[in-house]
Amino acid sequence: MVFAIGLVAAGVGVAQTHVVAKHSEAPVAKDVAPTGATVVIDTTMGRMVCRLYEKEAPTTVANFIGLVEGSKDWKDPATDKMVHGKPFYDGTGLAGVTDGLMGGDRLGGLMGTAGAPFVAEKSGLGFDRAGRLVMAKFVPEPGSPKGPVMSSSSVFYVTDHADKEYERRGGTVFGQCDDAAVAVAGAISHALLSVDNHPAEPIAINHIAVVREGEELPAVAAAVPLAQVTPQPAPMPTSVVPAPEPTGPTAVIDTSMGVITCRLFKETPIAVANFVGLADGTKVWTNPATHKAMRGKRFYDGLTFGRVIPDFMIQNADMPGDPGGDGDIGFHFGVETVPGLTFDRPGRLAYANGGPDTNQSEFFISEHPMHRLDGGYTIFGQCDDASVKVVEAIARVPRDEKNKPLTAVVIRKVSAH
């Protein structure tokens, strides 16, 4: 069984590193307050208390409460039989996702949901604050017929940061958790993401209680024996092919918060040549604002890190004034995959993309092992331990709801030799 609960398939977008500047805006009033019941989520790392938006998302709330209390039948993925009168979430493992945690999968790989998805509600609530309780969007198999947007039957998130990127990924906000819950969600997310969602012992939901108007909060639920948690953690993936060590040029990224030094891989010649050419100005690129060919112009010097996410990565921004917001500088190239070269360690330098054959200029540097990204991105460098510390510091600067630093972190100069 795999404890890393299908993060990419869940539609949370953690593997999507290329960001378009334009985001959909949910028509949410800043002062909308939940008026439904309260749910108390006791985990092995603390309690989260969340009030439900029963008026704005009645179907989603009713589905969640039914699974919590056991009044809604659900399918046991281990036996493929329907379960009656038993709470769904108790004893289930949690996973870390970008800016929060995820629960609601009893098997792993999104194979252990409660049953068939249902039509997603438009609650009108956005991701403008931390502590959102969200029912995940159901992601159909590739090639499936198009239909209405569907909601997962059981997979939910608790966000620990305001994050507009969730609006693009999809999901129905159906609750708001308090500040203490946000801290717990952040601690759980960090504990899990720092080991790529492969902990030595599971971090799990002990019990979820529904508290209605006038009722007192219950005592903290007893811990579920670790041996009974489902799914159980799996060991960190290992490759049968030894990972190559970088033997190419050394890239030095001088930033306003410190120097990042990375050795490049000869095994990814297209990516390395593109990076070095853009860095030293020998590669011709198109200015997205003027559409003029730029010759002898160093591309990266003076750009900023436009997307920073703790426990994930830092990513450079596009050129200022890009009217399309898509970073298009006149060319694209595909992903180079190398046997054994995976996101198995911190400090991987890789190209961001928006899908196959869309690599251009945006790069990111990982903070932890992230096997969930394997195969989708070109790893073309490895940064040293001191540089990973700089990455960690940049990832934790104050940021807005689009994950952009409030104070610019500038790339002063990039050189490769």
φ, ψ for residue 112, nearest 5 deg? -120, 35
> For 267-290, what is the mean pLDDT?
96
Q: Which fold has domain 250-416?
A: Cyclophilin (2.40.100)
Report the pLDDT value the prediction gives residue 78, as an integer from 0 to 100: 86
- Binned at pLDDT 50, 70 and 90, residue 1 comes out as very low
List, for residues 348-379, the tens digit of each pLDDT value: 999 999 888 999 999 999 999 999 999 999 99
CA dist 196 and 403 (Å) reads 21
181 CA to centre of own chain: 19
Report the pLDDT value the prediction gives residue 289, as an integer from 0 to 100: 87
Report the candidate in 218, 199, 216, 200 with the shortest Cα–Cα distance to residue 208: 218
φ, ψ for residue 116, nearest 5 deg? -70, 145
Architecture of the domain made up of 38-228: Beta Barrel (2.40)
- Residue tagged 């940021």 (tokens): 399
- Binned at pLDDT 50, 70 and 90, residue 26 comes out as very low
Would residue 215 be called left, alpha or beta, if left means φ above 0 and alpha means ψ between -120 and 50 degrees? beta
Domains in the chain: boundaries: 38-228, 250-416
Report the candidate in 105, 104, 311, 308 with the shortest Cα–Cα distance to residue 188: 311
- Binned at pLDDT 50, 70 and 90, residue 128 comes out as very high
* Single pTM value for the model: 0.91
